[in-house]
Amino acid sequence: MKLKTRLIVTYTLFMSLALLALAVWMNVFAGKMFEKFVRGAIEERSAEIVRAVSELYNPMSRSFDIPRLEAIGMLFMHEGYVIDVESETGGEWNRVWDAREMDMQHCVEALREIEARMESRYGLRGELQSKSYPVWQGGEAAGTMNSVNPASIVNIATYGPFFYSENESDFLSSLNGLLAAFVVVCIVMAAGLAVPLAVSIARPVVKAGEAARQIAGGNLAVRLDEADKTHELAGLARSINGMAGALEEADRRQKQLTADIAHELRTPLTCLQGGIEAMVDGVWEPTPARLQSCGEEIRRLSTLVDDLALLTRIEWESRALNKTAFEIAPFLRLIADGFVPAAAEKNIAVECLTPFPDDAAVITADYDRLKQVIMNLLSNAVKYTDRGKITVSARPLASDGALSESGAVSEGGVFSWEIAVSDTGSGITGEDIPHVFDRLYRSDKSRSRDSGGDSHGHGLGLAIAAAIVKAHGGRIGVESDGHGTVFRVLV
């Protein structure tokens, strides 16, 4: 089932059930109120009958006007009120007039009509109930049989506990019909409103699904409108756009990587091919120097392939790290001492700042992998520093891992140590900083491989360092102001 159809059905069904529940409640409430009204009307009608009968009593002759009493009794009998009048004479009660004795057939028909109406229409079963009212001399009726000692009484029998007259029944039926029509109209209106509502909700979802299919089909340039007023739908559009942007960037980087690898391989292969063909054709004499040059190109190719394999292995096998606990101060000093001779050739000083006892500063990491990271950073520092000094330092972090002065590595995470490698070299431009850890990236594309982007000469050293740090669950960042560079490693 389509989302739009399901939304329409769900919304209409929900509204229908809500309206039906409301209609049932209103019907019950209206029925109770109408029943209360009818009971009151029966009492008022009974009081009216008593007053009418009382007016027919002559206190002088102590008798009723029988012809008029008969007319009144027959009139009310058709409304469902069966009347009989009793009067006291000499301590005995005598029946003055009785509608049943007057016309039993009409009484029975009137009561049966009421009984059929109440049972068939409303499912209410009742029986004939009689109530007595006093008749006061002077034509006034008041009080009850318990509070007076009247000379005459009026007995009124009705279908009980209550009954609807024909007009009342028609009114109640009309009210119920109006309520049912109201519910039907509301359901139709709800269904009509459900269509645009469902369309407004389903359209962004359908567009998101279509965009996802296009992205899966290779169209990474597709984007969705993020201006939807519904927060969740706008969030869905942002997520789809973010995913498309990330995939587009990954695709761009993959293509760039392929092009860079092809470029890195093309030059040494061209040199090898040209040199070997020249020697095979007799143009060049295969001297040791020329053979050594070919060997260097082969080693360069081998190094590039090995580094690509190493980078892939680190990224895909991060769980294979051999983590151990070791003292960080001797570890850093040993690495720094290894670069002192190369730095001395350029009159550069190498310092290792570890202002804490060796046995009190322990780090848990893969010794060889972390050593490779620091060596790559120091190699770059020596290569791109012509004066001043290079400093390697370490410091423990606070429990929250916060580093106020390290804006380049401000993302979350709790780390144990910050290792920094800083130099006073030429620095890195602002446009190059976001890309220094990309594969095969060199800030100056015109550099030769001997002075290329990192210690390996082909732009993979920093990428390998970043992959190792990430495999440790840490962060690596770089800061540069044009007068030096600082690499910070958090592990």
Model pLDDT, residue 276: 85
Q: What is the pLDDT of residues 129-142, one digit of tens each?
A: 888 888 865 544 43
Please state, in angstroms and rounded to a whole number, the distance separating the CA atoms of residues 457 and 480: 21
Q: Give 454's pLDDT tier (boundaries 50, 70, 90).
A: very low
Q: Which residue did the predictor score with more confidence, 125 or 479?
A: 479
Mean pLDDT, the chain, whole residue set = 79
Dist. CA 150–CA 129, nearest whole Å: 22
- The reported pLDDT for the residue numbered 490 is 92
Question: Running DSSP on this structure, what letter comes out for residue 409?
Answer: G
Q: Residues of the chain with pLDDT > 90: what percent? A: 8
* CA-CA-CA-CA torsion sign (26, 31, 36, 38): positive
With beta carbons less than 8 A apart as the criterion, state whether 47 and 132 touch: no
- pLDDT(298) > 80: yes
* pLDDT for the residue numbered 390: 93
Say how far apart CA 477 and CA 466 lie, in whole Å: 9
Asked whether the whole model's pTM tops 0.85, one would answer no
Class of domain 319-490: alpha beta
> For 63-211, where are the E strands, in sequence order?
63-64, 82-89, 92-98, 127-135, 152-160
Cα–Cα–Cα angle for 351, 353, 355, rounded to 5 degrees: 155
Map residue 275 onto helix, strand or coil.
Answer: helix
Phi, psi for 110 (deg, rounded to 5): -65, -45
149 is written with which tokens? 């000692």
Q: In this predicted structure, what is the pLDDT of residue 391?
A: 94
Domain ranges within the chain, ordered by starting residue: 3-169, 220-316, 319-490
For 266, residues 6+ apart whose C-beta sits below 8 A from its C-beta are none
Q: How many CA atoms lie within 13 A of 100 on its CB side?
A: 12
For the ranges 164-178, 189-203, 366-380, 400-414, the one whose mean pLDDT is highest: 366-380
Q: How would DSSP label each residue in 410-456?
A: -S----SEEEEEEE-SS---TTTGGGTTSTT--S-TTS-GGG-SSTT
pLDDT at 141: 40
* Residue 423 in this model has a pLDDT that exceeds 80: yes
> 488 near 418, Cβ under 8 Å?
yes
Cα 293 from Cα 279, distance rounded (Å): 13
The average pLDDT across 323-351 equals: 90
Does this chain's domain 220-316 share its CATH topology with 319-490? Answer: no
Residue 456 pLDDT > 70: no
SS3 243: helix
Q: Counting Cβ atoms within 10 Å, is residue 177 exposed (0-12), middle (13-18) or buried (19+)?
A: exposed
Question: Of 19-33, 160-174, 296-310, which gets the smallest average pLDDT?
Answer: 296-310
Q: What integer pLDDT is reported at residue 414 of this predicted model?
A: 43
Give the least confident one: 70-74, 150-154, 311-315: 311-315
> Can you give the pLDDT at residue 422?
93
Q: Which fold has domain 220-316?
A: Helix Hairpins (1.10.287)
Q: What is the pLDDT of residues 204-249, one digit of tens each?
A: 778 888 888 888 888 888 888 777 767 777 888 888 888 888 888 7
Nearest to 263 by CA among 97, 417, 458: 458
Model pLDDT, residue 402 = 45
DSSP labels for 342-375?
HHHTTT-EEEEE--S-GGG-EEEEEHHHHHHHHH
| 441 or 434, which is more confident | 434
